């Protein structure tokens, strides 16, 4: 044991460790070592290995201390030497932080102690050096509190008031002040003694004033925290082995508040908003990191150029600027120069845009942290592509650098930032479908369509939406609902349309009769302007100017690059002309799912549909279906035309028939009147069709197999449309998809109906065309028996929405009751309706792929669930060997990029 290296030093331009030793030094320790190693000035310190943590559990505290003693003492001396400070010194005391750090980040799970080394002597030194006695004593009393909790285990009883808070309150009362900040240095000095008393009272032990004793206590406390309850729970949920252990990093504290040659700041190597290659950041002289964040003082710009621009924007004269708000470039030119060189070095070292934190202590620059900087979608794309040109990264790396979901920001309108400044947020809902929208409030879908037809921009506001509202939703700029979650009808349809939507805005009170809604005291009437931010969920009163996205050169170049590497095809889910056109513009290579039921809601169609449903005999049903046929055919022609030359997968009727009937009394009466039947008949039918679990009821191919005439009509419409276009010279490639198949028999029967209808159509039209017949795999049994179903299918399309519902036994409509708790408690890592569940649902997909190909090597395999546009799910589709994914139009670019990333990460042999 004694021969193992347990303590790794860093600082002063060198380090024992490096980024490669993450397993041994933890993420934090390794990164500090790495920076030191490449010559970046980091506060000196040392890291005790993760192995030592495990040994601690095996050998016990005494033995570990014995093994570490010499090395730790030497390490502290090393730090003292590098900083010129001394542990417990009254003049220039060395204070350190003691931090945990495992191989992978376990945020907030384990313990950290700051300002260790402070005691009755060192506090003097700190006061002197900072010239701020209050700061020194405040640091001291905070340290006692933190150390008392973390290391010494001060734990108030359940229900008891926190004793430290109580002491502070008593002190404030005594002094007759309200705010903590009003307490003086002397008050805090007094509190330090009270706090020590608290520790003594709760632990029976004196607060340790010897820095060494403090240090050993903190090290052992960090080791212990590896096995605290929340860390164990976190590891269990994230499947982190118990025997990894945590490292302990001890790092010298540095202070940016030691006078006017001290400062603290943050900086970015490039512009995080635009991606422009431009060093930038903010800093404060004689301040601590917290001060920058707290916003009490105005932070200054680091570069002179930024400073000048900022002053100009704020109407500050150049003289005043130079005087009061100088840039770091001007106030500390040498430090600036050093910082500039470091940021350049870091970016070259890490090959990515860096977000850095620094402190200048008495003219000395220390880098406290560097990490890959967060950035907007726009910046992400630009930086990745620029870095190819700069030779920093290659094409594959550039593709991997862009988070596919961030592309969303590039595809939707955004609010004009200037206009936004004066806008008033009246409430917030769920950000259901991204983008920005502004328009006049309308409460009824049909009226939304009417207003829009007159050239008005409208926002459709509803308690919730239903399939009948589709047309109105399409006509609106955006949709706002009071109810429903991220997978509610409004949310799903809006995302499909690429239409801005905010849903579940529970605070709004919609009054259809009065044609207004209220939020608190604010009343918004029909015709009033509101604006929605579908990416944040914010709802604004008034009109806010929006700017359309610039799908510029960077975006186009990224997509080209993605197409160069991806293997998966990318299709779209679309059934309207508008959606199909958008999708094709975004690069969709066909339609993977055209739902036919939406086509039955408009105008006359819904009437004929209801006639069909109310029919008592096959003959009556056929009569009604005959009336629907021309509408369907026209719909298909429109789509086929746009998708000329590309495959279009049309799904036969899927939802249960009761969805087409009205469920409230009033609407029933209206329909009865319109159709010339008694309201009782409508009610009877609604009652007859009622289902306890419609999701698992009479729908999908169960309709087409009980009423073959429905299938016949749809097939006729599809094939007649294709033939009529062919006669015009337009190449339509229909694929007919049978939904909800659970047994091969169901598909066999549907196939017979489809084929015999096709023969009739071909005979009638005197022309035949090629088409495919396939099925959704969306029922677990279909996946399990894919080796039977595969024999009679030309293609499988995984309907992972329903497949997830049935594999998990989760109703999408009801899951909101427990899903949030499940996510919070870690019982689920993701919402399985957003991210495909690889272990469960994914295994069924994999099984179906293997079984399907085993009996039908030519079978075409795709996915058309919402997962088809979610990056991690796209990756899975690539891994299991699908041929294509299909997603909503606005997700097509995301899928293209995700597919490229998957191909780079998991090359198909």
Catalytically active residues are: 489, 864
Q: Does 852 bind a copy of itself (CB under 8 A)?
A: no
Closest approach of a copy of itself to the CB of residue 568, in Å = 24
**CB count in 10 Å sphere of residue 813:** 14
Considering the complex, state which of residue 205 and residue 745 has its C-beta at the smaller distance from a copy of itself.
745
The binder of a copy of itself chosen from 843, 855, 879, 881 (CB under 8 A): 843
Interface with a copy of itself includes 343 (CB under 8 A)?
no
Indicate which single residue of 70, 297, 698, 908 sits in contact with a copy of itself (rule: CB under 8 A): 698
Site string for a copy of itself, 231-270 (x = CB under 8 A): -----xx---------------------------------
Angle at 800 between CA 906 and CA 633, to 5 degrees: 115
Q: Which of 821, 854, 906, 908 binds a copy of itself (CB under 8 A)?
A: 821
Stretch that binds a copy of itself, among 63-71, 109-117, 696-704, 725-733 (CB under 8 A): 696-704
Phi, psi (deg, nearest 5) at residue 849: -60, -50
818 binds a copy of itself per the rule CB under 8 A: yes
Write down the least CB distance from residue 778 to a copy of itself, Å.
8
- CA 785, 786, 790, 792 dihedral sign is positive
In the set 51, 89, 352, 746, which binds a copy of itself (CB under 8 A)? 746
Our CB check for a copy of itself shows the closer of 675 and 696 to be 696
- Position among 178, 421, 839, 858 found at the interface with a copy of itself (CB under 8 A): 839
Of 599 and 828, nearer to a copy of itself (C-beta) is: 828
The token pair at 466 is 């239903």
* Binding to a copy of itself, residues 757-816 (CB under 8 A): 778-781, 784-785, 788, 802, 805-811, 813-815
Name which position in 12, 549, 840, 881 contacts a copy of itself (CB under 8 A). Answer: 840
Distance in angstroms (rounded) separating the CA atoms of residues 843 and 201:
57
Tell me 18's DSSP state: -
Give Cα separations from 10 to 99, 252, 361, 853 (angstroms): 15, 11, 19, 57
Site for a copy of itself contains 693 (CB under 8 A): yes
Nearest to 87 by CA among 192, 177, 216, 248: 216
837 is a contact residue toward a copy of itself (CB under 8 A): yes
Q: CA 634, CA 608: separation in Å to the nearest integer?
A: 16
Report the C-alpha gap between 93 and 84 in whole angstroms.
9
The count of chain residues that interact with a copy of itself, using the rule CB under 8 A, is 52
- Output the smallest distance, CB 790 to a copy of itself, in A: 14
Q: Where are the beta strands (DSSP E) in 703-801?
A: 733-738, 772-777, 795-798
The distance of closest approach from Cβ of residue 639 to a copy of itself in the complex, given in angstroms and rounded to an integer, is 28
Give min distance, CB of 833 to a copy of itself, in A.
12
Given a contact cutoff of 8 angstroms between Cβ atoms, the answer to whether 434 and 408 are in contact is: yes
Query: How far is residue 98's CA from residue 76's CA, in Å, rounded to a whole number?
Result: 12
481 or 531: whose CB is closer to a copy of itself?
481
The distance of closest approach from Cβ of residue 782 to a copy of itself in the complex, given in angstroms and rounded to an integer, is 9
- Sole window of 104-112, 302-310, 721-729, 841-849 interacting with a copy of itself (rule: CB under 8 A): 841-849
Q: Is the dihedral of CA 586, 590, 595, 601 positive or negative?
A: positive
Output 579 or 788, the one with its CB closest to a copy of itself: 788
Closer to a copy of itself by Cβ: residue 740 or 897: 740
Residues near 273 by beta carbon (within 8 Å), at least 6 away in sequence? 375, 376, 378, 379
Q: Could you give the CA distance from residue 252 to residue 77 in angstroms, rounded to a whole number?
A: 11
Angle between the 618-642 and 603-614 helix axes, to the nearest 10 degrees? 150
- Please identify which residue in 643, 740, 848, 849 interacts with a copy of itself, judged by CB under 8 A: 740
d(CA 878, CA 602): 38
**Residue 515 Rama label (left phi>0; alpha psi -120 to 50; beta):** left
Answer yes or no whether residue 727 interacts with a copy of itself by CB under 8 A: no
Long-range contact set of residues 141-146: C-beta below 8 Å, sequence gap at least 24? 141/188, 141/191, 141/192, 141/195, 142/114, 142/115, 143/113, 143/114, 143/115, 143/116, 143/118, 144/192, 144/195, 144/196, 144/199, 144/207, 145/195, 146/113, 146/114
Nearer to a copy of itself, 181 or 706 (CB): 706
60, 556, 826, 907: which one binds a copy of itself (CB under 8 A): 826
List residues binding a copy of itself (CB under 8 A): 236-237, 691-698, 702, 705-706, 740, 742-743, 745-746, 748-749, 778-781, 784-785, 788, 802, 805-811, 813-815, 817-818, 821-822, 825-828, 837, 839-841, 843-844
């Amino acid at each position: 044991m004694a021969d193992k290296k347990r303590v790794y030093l860093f600082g002063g331009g060198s380090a024992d460790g490096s980024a490669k030793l993450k397993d041994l030094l933890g993420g934090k320790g390794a990164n500090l070592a790495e920076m030191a190693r490449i010559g970046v000035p980091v506060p000196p310190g040392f890291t005790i290995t993760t192995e030592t943590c495990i040994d601690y559990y095996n050998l016990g505290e005494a033995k570990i201390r014995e093994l570490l003693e010499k090395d730790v003492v030497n390490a502290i001396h090393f730090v003292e030497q590098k900083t010129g400070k001394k542990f417990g010194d009254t003049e220039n005391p060395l204070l350190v932080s003691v931090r945990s750090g495992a191989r992978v980040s376990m945020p907030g799970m384990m313990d950290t102690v700051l300002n260790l080394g402070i005691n009755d002597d060192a506090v003097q030194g700190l006061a002197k050096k900072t010239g701020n006695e209050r700061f020194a004593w405040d640091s001291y009393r905070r340290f006692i509190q933190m150390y008392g909790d973390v290391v010494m285990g001060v734990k108030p009883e359940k229900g008891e008031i926190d004793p430290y808070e109580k002491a502070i309150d008593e002190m404030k009362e005594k002094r007759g002040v309200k705010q903590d900040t009003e307490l003086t240095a002397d008050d805090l000095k007094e509190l330090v003694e009270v706090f020590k008393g608290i520790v003594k009272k709760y632990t029976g032990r004196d607060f340790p004033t010897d820095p060494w004793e403090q240090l050993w206590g903190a090290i052992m406390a960090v080791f212990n925290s590896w096995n605290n309850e929340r860390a164990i729970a976190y590891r269990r949920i994230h499947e982190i082995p118990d025997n990894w252990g945590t490292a302990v990093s001890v790092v010298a504290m540095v202070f940016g508040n030691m006078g006017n040659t001290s400062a603290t700041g943050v900086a970015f190597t490039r512009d995080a908003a635009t991606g422009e290659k431009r060093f930038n950041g903010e800093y404060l002289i004689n301040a601590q990191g917290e001060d920058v964040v707290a916003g009490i003082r105005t932070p200054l710009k680091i570069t002179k150029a930024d400073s000048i621009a900022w002053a100009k924007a704020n109407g500050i004269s150049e003289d005043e600027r130079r005087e009061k708000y100088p840039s770091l470039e001007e106030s500390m030119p040498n430090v600036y120069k050093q910082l500039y060189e470091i940021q350049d070095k870091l970016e070259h070292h890490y090959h990515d845009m860096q977000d850095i934190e620094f402190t200048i202590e008495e003219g000395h620059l220390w880098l406290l942290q560097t990490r890959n900087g967060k950035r907007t979608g726009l910046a992400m794309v630009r930086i990745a592509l620029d870095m190819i040109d700069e030779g920093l990264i290659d094409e594959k790396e550039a593709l991997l650098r862009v988070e596919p979901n961030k592309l969303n920001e590039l595809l939707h309108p955004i609010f004009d930032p200037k206009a936004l400044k004066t806008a008033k947020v009246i409430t917030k809902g769920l950000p259901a479908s991204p983008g920005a929208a502004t328009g006049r409030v309308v409460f009824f879908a049909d009226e939304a369509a009417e207003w829009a037809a007159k050239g008005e921009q409208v926002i459709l506001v509803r308690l919730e939406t239903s399939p009948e509202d589709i047309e109105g939703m399409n006509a609106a700029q955006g949709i706002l609902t009071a109810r429903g979650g991220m997978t509610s009808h409004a949310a799903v349809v809006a995302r499909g349309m690429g239409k801005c939507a905010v849903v579940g805005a529970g605070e709004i009170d919609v009054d259809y009769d009065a044609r207004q809604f209220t939020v608190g005291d604010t009343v918004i009437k029909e015709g009033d302007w509101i604006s929605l931010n579908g990416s944040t969920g914010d709802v604004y009163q008034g009109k806010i100017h929006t700017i359309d996205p610039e799908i510029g050169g960077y975006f186009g170049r990224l997509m080209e690059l993605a197409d160069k590497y991806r293997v998966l095809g990318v299709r779209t889910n679309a059934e309207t002309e508008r959606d199909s056109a958008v999708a094709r513009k975004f690069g969709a290579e066909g339609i993977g799912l055209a739902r036919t039921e939406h086509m039955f809601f408009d105008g006359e169609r819904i009437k004929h549909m209801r006639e069909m449903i109310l029919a008592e005999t096959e003959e009556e049903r056929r009569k009604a279906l005959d009336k629907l046929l021309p509408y369907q055919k026209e719909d298909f022609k429109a789509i086929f035309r746009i998708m000329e030359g590309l495959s279009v997968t049309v799904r036969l009727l899927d939802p249960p028939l009761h969805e087409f009937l009205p469920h409230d009394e009033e609407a029933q009466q209206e329909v009865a009147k319109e159709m010339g039947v008694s309201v009782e008949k409508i009610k009877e039918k609604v009652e007859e069709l009622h289902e306890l679990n419609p999701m698992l009821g009479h729908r999908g191919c169960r309709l087409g197999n009980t009423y073959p005439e429905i299938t016949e009509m749809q097939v006729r419409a599809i094939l007649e449309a294709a033939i009529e276009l062919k006669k015009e010279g337009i190449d339509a490639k229909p694929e007919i998809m049978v939904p909800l198949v659970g047994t091969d028999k169901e598909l066999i029967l549907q196939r017979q109906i489809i084929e015999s209808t096709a023969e009739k159509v071909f005979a009638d039209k005197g022309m035949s065309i090629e088409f495919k017949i396939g099925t959704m795999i969306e029922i677990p049994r279909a996946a399990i028996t894919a080796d039977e179903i595969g024999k009679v299918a030309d293609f499988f399309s995984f309907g992972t929405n329903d497949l997830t519902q049935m594999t998990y036994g989760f109703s999408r409509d009801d899951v909101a009751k427990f899903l949030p708790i499940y996510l919070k408690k870690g019982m689920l890592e993701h919402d399985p309706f957003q991210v495909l569940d690889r272990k469960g649902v994914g295994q069924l997909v994999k099984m179906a792929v293997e079984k399907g190909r085993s009996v039908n090597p030519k079978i075409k395999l795709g996915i058309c669930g919402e997962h088809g546009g979610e990056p991690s799910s796209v990756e899975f589709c690539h891994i299991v060997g699908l041929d294509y994914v299909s997603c909503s139009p606005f997700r097509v670019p995301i899928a293209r990029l995700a597919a490229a990333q998957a191909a780079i990460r998991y090359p198909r042999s």
